[in-house]
Amino acid sequence: MSNQIAFCPECRQDVKYSIKENTESAKLKGETYEFTSHTAYCEKCGEEVYVAELEDANLQALYDEYRRKNEIIPLQDIRAIPEKYNIGKRPLSLLLGWGEQTFSRYYDGDMPSKQYSEILKQIYTDPNYYLSLLEKSKDNLKSDKAYKKSKVASVELLRALSASRQSKIDIVADYLLSQCREITPLALQKALYYAQGFFFAFYRTFLFEEDCEAWVHGPVYRDIYRRYSNYCFDPIDSIDEFDVSLLSGEEKLLLDSIIRHICCYSGKILESFTHAETPWVSARAELPADASSNVIISKQAIGEYFTSVKEKYRMLTPTNIKDYAQNMFSQI
Ligand SMILES: [Zn+2]
């Protein structure tokens, strides 16, 4: 399968070799790691032959496994940082307050400590963090030019990100608005809340990251509240075209059930549902009914509550949300 040549000590000549994949284990810093390695065999006699590139790749595979297990930043992420922020390896090291060569060593494959790895991860994933670091520590840099060109790159990166980033909660809100007629800001908030809770109950993961707050009239997602606050008690009439490919099949299935079985009630009725449910009640604790509050209702509390609802109602599919909603309605 290979036209590549290596020296075979058995045949005492250069031979063609073939490569086989094995699972190997090796010790690194006192721990044993399993990784996939590749070994070359002489095509004439079958003896193992030495191929430098394969040895390097095997060592790399072991180190990759070590990084994965210990949650150390992958090498390719480290290598992407200088280009991402248009900064040299040395200036970056200085910016971080590290030795001048430290970042270069990591770039060349040295293993960063957990602490340094966390810093590099944050830089890699969060341009805002990098930019604040650049501003705070620009005096560490020996050249103003390095600061300026990296700043231009970071600001540009942030601008591009915010243009492309539409968070999942926005997508969910857009879908609800595109499918529901006559939905008020109050009802939209409740629909988001039930979507989050029941999605977790069915799929063990949250639909979106945002936390809601236990306001007087029920759970509220603040950014969404701000966006539509000028509608007050009127239905939101911005019915945008919605690109349904933004949702997975599971997401759409669940949201369609929320639309059908939750959004058919008014915001006021849904408010009374939430006032009877543990997450909002517990988050507000002893607060008087009309006291304003921005206390967070934890996602965990929402997830646990709706998981117990799903169990109590023996729900098999999201369509069964209907049973819960009807029962809540019969009790108000
Ligand atoms: Zn041979």
Q: What is the pLDDT of residues 293-305, one digit of tens each?
A: 999 999 999 999 9
- The label of the residue with tokens 């629909």 reads 191
pTM of the model: 0.53
Q: Where are the alpha helices (DSSP H) in 70-143?
A: 75-84, 89-95, 102-107, 114-125, 127-136
Name which of 95, 110, 133, 104 is nearest 63 in CA terms. 110
Q: How far apart are CA 41 and CA 46, in angstroms?
A: 5
Neighbours of ion ligand 1 (CB under 5 A): 8, 10-11, 42, 44-45, 47
Q: How far apart are CA 103 and CA 92, in angstroms?
A: 7
Cα of 19 vs centre of ligand 1, distance in Å, is 14
Q: What is the pLDDT of residues 72-102, one digit of tens each?
A: 999 989 999 999 999 999 999 999 999 999 9
Cα of 8 vs centre of ligand 1, distance in Å, is 5
Cα of 52 vs centre of ligand 1, distance in Å, is 17
User: Any idea which fold 5-69 has?
Assistant: Ubiquitin-like (UB roll) (3.10.20)
Q: What is the pLDDT of residues 129-156, one digit of tens each?
A: 999 999 999 999 888 999 999 999 999 8
The predicted model gives 18-35 an average pLDDT of 93
Cα of 247 vs centre of ligand 1, distance in Å, is 56
Cα of 259 vs centre of ligand 1, distance in Å, is 70
The CA angle 68-69-71, to the nearest 5 degrees, is 65
Domain ranges of the chain: 5-69, 75-164, 168-330
Strands, E assignment, the chain? 5-8, 13-28, 31-42, 48-49, 212-215, 218-220, 296-297
pLDDT at res. 143: 84
Q: How far apart are CA 274 and CA 272, in angstroms?
A: 5
Name which of 271, 262, 270, 268 is nearest 180 in CA terms. 262
Cα of 143 vs centre of ligand 1, distance in Å, is 57
Question: What is the C-alpha end-to-end distance of the chain, expressed in Å?
Answer: 74
Q: How far apart are CA 129 and CA 81, in angstroms?
A: 13
Q: How far apart are CA 181 and CA 184, in angstroms?
A: 9
Cα of 7 vs centre of ligand 1, distance in Å, is 8
